[in-house]
Amino acid sequence: MHLRSHLRPRLVALLLSLSACPGDDGGGGGGSGSDGTTGTGEATMGLDSTGTDGTGDTGEPAGVELVPCDPTAEGSCEEGVCAGHPMSGFYCRPGCSTMAMEGTPCGSDDVCLPVRPGAPETACFDVRACDLLTGDGCSLAAGDGCVALSLEPLRTACVPAGDAAAGQACAPAGMLACGPGSACLGSDLDASTDGTCTAWCELGAAPTEACSACTAVGDGIGTCSECAVLGDDCPAGSQCQLANELLGGVCVGVGPAGPYAPCSPFDEAQACQAGLLCVDVESGPICLVPCDPASPMCTGEGESCVDVGLFVPGAPADQLGVCAAVGVTLCDPAAEPTGCAADENCLDVGGGLGICGSTCDPALGDAACGTENTACFPTDGSQIDLGPFVEGNGACGLGCTTDGECGGGTCLHLDGLEVDGLCGATCTPGMPGACGAGMSCVATPEDAGVGACMAGGTTCNTGNVGECGGGACIPMEGEALVGICLPPCFGQDPAACGGTPALCQSKTDPTWHEGTCIGGGTACNPIEDDCGPGQACGVVGGAAFGGHAFLCDDAGPLGEGGDCSMDSGACQAGLGCIGGACRAWCDPMADACATGTCTDVSAGLYLPADTLGACV
């Protein structure tokens, strides 16, 4: 079993959300979003057919006009796109801009949400405050019901609803078949498998015959179930197992399957032993000990309380976990303490999870972590931080303190480096041709009439990362924001500064020396592709990273030649992202490329020559 990695080494491309939904939803230009922000775009078709105030003449909330659709059928909508959720139905809605993100306002009280769970495309949803249990806020007389569009945060809306009672079957596509006060849970949209209409409930309310347990999904709200996994409310000889994605439970007979053994929760011959929960992880369903993320009590060697949401898409966070040995120590990057040791950092990997790793200095290279197959990831607090390293972590030049150390040249005093200054040929600032091609005569801080020839040497603002076009912007002595562009380098690169790494003068600001060690265990082999089904061997090293790690991760969807410039972990097994394209790994000493030539890429990863190649 392994934990899905969120640590693929890549520079993140930042996209600005410039607009949301083009067009006009009848609500006026650029209305205020539900979070108080101003929308920059508007919906292209009406979601509320009743006018601007959303109420009828009698004071009863007006009905909505939404056309049901099937997201699995092409051209299901004549206008707009088919968008929704299996638990709340699918309807034709206006599409949002490709630049919109989840939660982007798209009109008065409307927001852009995924067209289906996990989809990158978004549509404009009419968000309306209503009561999930009673339907208050929606027109029950018009056949509408209150549904949850999302749970974190809770967003509700009014949609045409069916009349199926709790416990009856419901399809994942089309109009919500369930009556008001319930959701369609446990379905599978891709497999067209029906779910079950499940009633919402109020946390803390007294159990009833129809709702014996209320499983929490958020503040004050839950779904009715037969039992709660963390409770002890099943008859003797049975235990609670998950019945749907919102963690509702059902009592099933205890079976023979032990910890980490394969299981089938509703087949007593393959069910889990008492005290175990059958959870479908990436390798298939296995039995694990359930735990409470708020007070984990895992006792197995190397086990951590892993939120079930990591394995069950759509599950509410922080409600239920399982004790699992995932090969790392998990932590909470938002908590204090995080759960890591005093000399460790909690590296945020998304989904509310973090991984504990010892602190390190990536500039130390192979010595950064001191553990086999472990790399030092540059970090800022709990976040991987590669942005500043577009200009290296050092600058090339001969270090000096006085002119006498420069062999007749001038020592240009600078700040922010481990040396006091850099040597350059003496020159007169402003005199044409004072320095050679590609060099500038930079006036010394002590005497504006005396300068030193510096490679590059143009003036830059130290506060603007990347202003030197990949060069290093180094502050002049005594200046906070005024610097000069110099050739960049990485202190851990054995070929830095034209093969003379001793000339790489390290930057001193902590930004360049803070990192977290991740990895360990047996290294995989990218050429042999030995990670197993669905896995790929990735290489961490080079550039800003300290040391090297060969780690197994989920294989991506892109084949050879695919564009991986936006995600270096998107290539299939046996391939690596080289120069923005997926290329087959190869042995430089035994070229066996089906296409292209095996090109040695070892130097770029700070590996010895002929260690690793790629078919280019």
- What pLDDT score does 329 carry? 76
Average pLDDT over residues 284-303: 86
End position of a domain, from candidates 297, 325, 353: 325
pLDDT category of residue 47 using cuts at 50, 70 and 90: very low
Average pLDDT over residues 140-157: 90
For residue 6, give the nearest of 582, 569, 580, 571 by alpha carbon: 569
Structure token pair of residue 222: 């839950």
**Claim to verify: residue 225 and residue 310 sit in the same structural domain:** yes
pTM equals 0.59
pLDDT at 481 over 70: yes
**Claim to verify: residue 459 and residue 525 sit in the same structural domain:** no
**Claim to verify: residue 42 and residue 117 sit in the same structural domain:** yes
- What pLDDT score does 386 carry? 86
- What pLDDT score does 307 carry? 84
User: pLDDT > 70: what percent of the chain?
Assistant: 89
Domain count, the chain: 4
**Claim to verify: residue 136 and residue 63 sit in the same structural domain:** yes
- What pLDDT score does 62 carry? 55
**Claim to verify: residue 475 and residue 522 sit in the same structural domain:** no
β pairing state of 176-178 and 154-164: parallel
pLDDT at 183 over 70: yes
**Claim to verify: residue 262 and residue 304 sit in the same structural domain:** yes
Average pLDDT over residues 460-489: 94
- What pLDDT score does 306 carry? 84
Distance CA 97, CA 22 (A): 7
Domain that holds residue 546: 518-615
Distance CA 519, CA 328 (A): 9
DSSP-derived secondary structure for 354-384 = EEEEEEE-GGGGGGTT-STTEEEEEEETTEE
Flag whether 180 is in a domain. Answer: no
**Claim to verify: residue 416 and residue 533 sit in the same structural domain:** no
- What pLDDT score does 402 carry? 97
Flag whether 467 is in a domain. Answer: yes
- What pLDDT score does 255 carry? 94
**Claim to verify: residue 130 and residue 256 sit in the same structural domain:** no
The DSSP H or E segment spanning 145 is strand 144-151
Distance CA 131, CA 598 (A): 63
Flag whether 367 is in a domain. Answer: no
End position of a domain, from candidates 138, 162, 186: 162
pLDDT at 175 over 70: yes
- What pLDDT score does 281 carry? 81
For residue 223, give the nearest of 126, 137, 320 by alpha carbon: 320
Q: What are phi and psi of 423, to 5 degrees?
A: -80, 145
**Claim to verify: residue 146 and residue 52 sit in the same structural domain:** yes
Average pLDDT over residues 132-151: 91
End position of a domain, from candidates 162, 195, 212: 162
pLDDT at 130 over 70: yes
pLDDT at 18 over 80: no
- What pLDDT score does 61 carry? 55
Flag whether 113 is in a domain. Answer: yes
Q: What are phi and psi of 578, to 5 degrees?
A: -120, 120
- What pLDDT score does 63 carry? 57
Which residue in the block uniquely carries the two structure tokens 């120069």? 579
Structure token pair of residue 137: 């806020």
More confident residue, 530 or 46: 530
Distance CA 149, CA 333 (A): 27
Flag whether 338 is in a domain. Answer: no
- What pLDDT score does 14 carry? 21
pLDDT category of residue 36 using cuts at 50, 70 and 90: very low
Average pLDDT, the chain: 85
Give me the half-sphere count of Cα atoms (radius 13 Å) on the Cβ side of residue 372.
Answer: 4
User: pLDDT > 90: what percent of the chain?
Assistant: 59
Distance CA 319, CA 296 (A): 11
- What pLDDT score does 521 carry? 80
Distance CA 333, CA 337 (A): 9
Flag whether 194 is in a domain. Answer: no
Average pLDDT over residues 458-473: 92
Strand partners, 518: 375
pLDDT at 12 over 50: no
Distance CA 538, CA 520 (A): 13
Q: Which span out of 21-35, 215-229, 401-415 was modeled with the highest average pLDDT?
A: 401-415
Read off the pLDDT of residues 405-431 as tens digits, 9 standing for 90 and up: 999 999 999 999 999 999 999 999 999
**Claim to verify: residue 465 and residue 528 sit in the same structural domain:** no
Q: Please confirm whether the linkage preceding 117 is cis (ω < 30° from 0).
A: no
Average pLDDT over residues 479-505: 95
pLDDT category of residue 34 using cuts at 50, 70 and 90: very low
pLDDT at 41 over 50: no
**Claim to verify: residue 39 and residue 145 sit in the same structural domain:** yes
**Claim to verify: residue 466 and residue 563 sit in the same structural domain:** no
pLDDT at 523 over 70: yes
Flag whether 362 is in a domain. Answer: no
Average pLDDT over residues 37-59: 32
Distance CA 315, CA 229 (A): 14
Flag whether 445 is in a domain. Answer: yes
b/e 548-572 (16+ beta carbons within 10 angstroms → b): bbbbbbbbbebebebebeeebbbbb
What is the dihedral sign for C-alpha 336, 338, 341, 346? negative
